[in-house]
Amino acid sequence: MNTQEVLDHHLAAFGAGDADEIAKDYTDTSILINQQGVVIGREAIRETFRGIFAGVFAPGTYDFTMDLTRVEGDAAYIVWHARCEKVDIAFGSDTFIVRDGTIAVQTYALKIEPH
């Protein structure tokens, strides 16, 4: 898969709240970096997304809006916002580096505002 296809798959799996499907986008050496720290490997990333889907992004409890998408070569960048049940994500930003059809590195940052 190319970068756009990986991004499309990732976003569809995220929208479905499917951590197992999201895990297919990563390998055992993939790295996820966010404000809380660094997560390495498919299984650890799967567990991270399970936590996300059990919390703020529980399926059916939020409205997600994509504000910007840029894909160039093996890099993708998205900017988005979401209205969730208990908080708003006023600003969300993800960067993806895709190698050999999987996400090698992903970073994300959020600005969370309580209701």
Cβ contacts of 59 within 8 Å, gap of 6 or more? 16, 17, 53
Q: Tell me what the pLDDT averaged over the chain comes to.
A: 97
64 pLDDT above the threshold of 90:
yes
Please report which confidence band the pLDDT of residue 113 belongs to, taking 50, 70 and 90 as the band edges.
very high
- Structural domain of residue 92, as residue ranges? 3-114
Q: What is the pTM of this model?
A: 0.94
Number of domains in the chain: 1
Q: Domain holding 96: CATH number?
A: 3.10.450.50
| 98 phi, psi to nearest 5 deg | -110, 130
Nearest-angstrom CA–CA distance, 110 and 89:
7
- Helices in 1-115 by DSSP H: which ranges? 3-16, 19-23, 42-54
pLDDT tens column, 16-63: 999 999 999 999 999 999 999 999 999 999 999 999 999 999 999 999
Using alpha carbons, list the distances in angstroms from residue 6 to 23, 75, 111.
Answer: 12, 11, 25
Share of residues in the chain with pLDDT > 90 (%): 98
Going by their DSSP bridges, the two strands 75-84 and 62-72 should be labelled as: antiparallel
